[in-house]
Amino acid sequence: IADIKGGPQGGLERVGEYMLVRGWVRTCRSQKTFAFIEVNDGSAVSNLQAVVNTNVEGYNEVEAGRVTTGASVSIEGVLVESQGSKQKVELQASKLLLIGGSDAATFPVQKKRLSREYLRSIAHLRPRTNTFGAVARVRNALAFATHQFFKEKGFVWVASPIITASDCEGAGEQFCVTTLIPNSHEDPSTPLSKIPSTKDGLLDWSQDFFGRPAFLTVSGQLNAEIYATALCDVYTFGPTFRAENSNTSRHLAEFWMIEPELAFADLRDDMACATAYLQYVIKYILENCKEDMEFFDQWIEKGIITRLTNVVEKEFMHITYTSAVALLQKAKKTFEFPVEWGCDLQSEHERYLTEEAFSGNPVIVTDYPKEIKAFYMRENADGKTVAAMDLLVPRVGELIGGSQREERLDVLERRIEELGLNKESYWWYLDLRRYGSVPHAGFGLGFERLVQFATGIENIRDVIPFPRTPGSADF
């Protein structure tokens, strides 16, 4: 359907072609001598309307009331110019085949507008709605554009592990990997899928990964650093996990992260890479997902196309953390959390900076106090701040977090000791500073936050097919 209706004349150039369309019925309206069936195949927001005359093979299914919303059909016919005003072309059916019926009385995705909360409870059917179809396609386009951007720049994609013993961020927000052993009173050959996964009774839980502690990764950064100090410019793109019990519209327990790591690079190079990346992928969807973006502009966030066009065309603002704090303190606005030098910026501060102080443009905040940032960030000459950067965008707040890494062995060792981290477990990370150390920098971009930013969808649970948040892991 996207192929037909996305043509330069909305399909008119293909009039006269005989074609087959397969998809799901959105609506079926029958008149005296014919029926209109609106079909959607997931390739576009647009439906294709088929006109099925009473003498067409398969019309009896319409008569019997079996061609209902949600049913799957295959329709053959000739594409003709439409007499209606809503579409340029329609299919003059010559054959209708009902593939899978759909009980109209119980099908949960009816034509009326459904709340996002309700749709989350039917995650197996929500991709059949216009909104979730469009989000899935734009998410896919952003992923494709990501790989294309890095390929054009000569980066190598590196697969970072999901199971790891190290805690990159040192924030203790890791999920533990455990080995499940059926209890002695259970037949040990019973497959785990047949044993109720309750903690008591049926299973013994040993808190380890074959005898050693292991966790789900919070970030692939340290692994990316290994490859950057051998292949120069690399990136990871995969799922990461955070065991933070936060119920907000921008946190997930499982989210995808894109983490470039650049060798022979400093914070300025890192910021330039983040800016070029963001502008590239946004431009890509504006050019390649026109119908979906117009749908978001009309139904989800008015003016989103203009907002994103500005992102592509305008320069991003830069401000140091110290100046940002001064600006927030002068703001004519009362924040829930007052700001003082040394505190971590909250979402309300981040949003004020990008939405109000810098009128809706992305802002990069640099040089944060070392106390509120991770151990690996490079210490600045002032001894108080580190070469860190956060890229903030309207609505979402922090989209990117990055830094220049500490490449000096002695400084890094001192920092690890100061923070009371276990130095032995970082032996391989320190080796990178012992053998051919180079200045290097990188960042992490939360892919779901990017999809939120690019579609205007408010809640992060609605931009990932199967959201994992405290208490939700069905589907």
Using CB under 6 A as the criterion, which residues of the chain lie in contact with ligand 4AD when the complex forms? 168-169, 219, 221, 242, 244, 251-252, 255, 257, 259, 398-402, 442-446, 448-449
In three-state secondary structure terms, 220 is: coil
Question: For ligand 4AD, which is the closer residue by CB, 109 or 396?
Answer: 396
Question: For Mg ion, which is the closer residue by CB, 365 or 416?
Answer: 365
Give 27's strand partners.
Answer: 38
> How many angstroms separate the CA atoms of 430 and 413, rounded?
8
Question: Which CA distances in Å does 164 have to 291, 309, 422?
Answer: 41, 40, 15
Question: For Mg ion, which is the closer residue by CB, 401 or 442?
Answer: 401
Question: For Mg ion, which is the closer residue by CB, 68 or 404?
Answer: 404
Tokens of 392: 């903030």
Question: For ligand 4AD, which is the closer residue by CB, 203 or 389?
Answer: 389
Question: For ligand 4AD, which is the closer residue by CB, 133 or 467?
Answer: 467
443 binding partner (options Mg ion, ligand 4AD, none; Cβ < 5 to 8 Å by kind): ligand 4AD
Smallest gap from residue 80 Cβ to ligand 4AD (A): 48
Among all residues, whose Cβ is closest to Mg ion? 401
Beta strands in 195-296 (DSSP E): 203-206, 215-216, 234-241, 254-263
> How many angstroms separate the CA atoms of 374 and 372, rounded?
7
| Among the listed residues 373, 370, 326, the one whose alpha carbon sits nearest the alpha carbon of residue 349 | 326
397 binding partner (options ligand 4AD, Mg ion, none; Cβ < 5 to 8 Å by kind): none
- Binding of residue 442 to Mg ion (CB under 5 A): no
Smallest gap from residue 401 Cβ to Mg ion (A): 3
Question: Angle at which helices 267-288 and 130-152 pack, to 10 degrees?
Answer: 130
Question: For Mg ion, which is the closer residue by CB, 70 or 401?
Answer: 401
Beta strands in 34-165 (DSSP E): 34-40, 48-53, 72-81, 89-100, 156-157, 163-164
Question: Which CA distances in Å does 222 have to 46, 122, 272, 336, 377?
Answer: 44, 37, 21, 35, 12
Out of 11, 401, 442, 456, which residue is the one contacting Mg ion (CB under 5 A)?
401
Smallest gap from residue 300 Cβ to ligand 4AD (A): 20
Smallest gap from residue 330 Cβ to ligand 4AD (A): 26
Which range of residues in 3-11, 274-282, 398-406, 465-473 is near Mg ion by CB under 5 A? 398-406
420: alpha, beta or left, given left = phi > 0 and alpha = psi -120 to 50? left
- Binding of residue 446 to Mg ion (CB under 5 A): no
Smallest gap from residue 463 Cβ to Mg ion (A): 19
Smallest gap from residue 398 Cβ to Mg ion (A): 6
219 binding partner (options ligand 4AD, Mg ion, none; Cβ < 5 to 8 Å by kind): ligand 4AD
442 binding partner (options ligand 4AD, Mg ion, none; Cβ < 5 to 8 Å by kind): ligand 4AD
> How many angstroms separate the CA atoms of 80 and 90, rounded?
6
Smallest gap from residue 390 Cβ to Mg ion (A): 6
Q: Is the dihedral of CA 455, 283, 272, 229 positive or negative?
A: positive
**Cα radius of gyration (the chain):** 27
Tokens of 26: 């959105």
The residue count for binding Mg ion (CB under 5 A) is 1
251 binding partner (options ligand 4AD, Mg ion, none; Cβ < 5 to 8 Å by kind): ligand 4AD
Contacts to Mg ion by CB under 5 A: 401
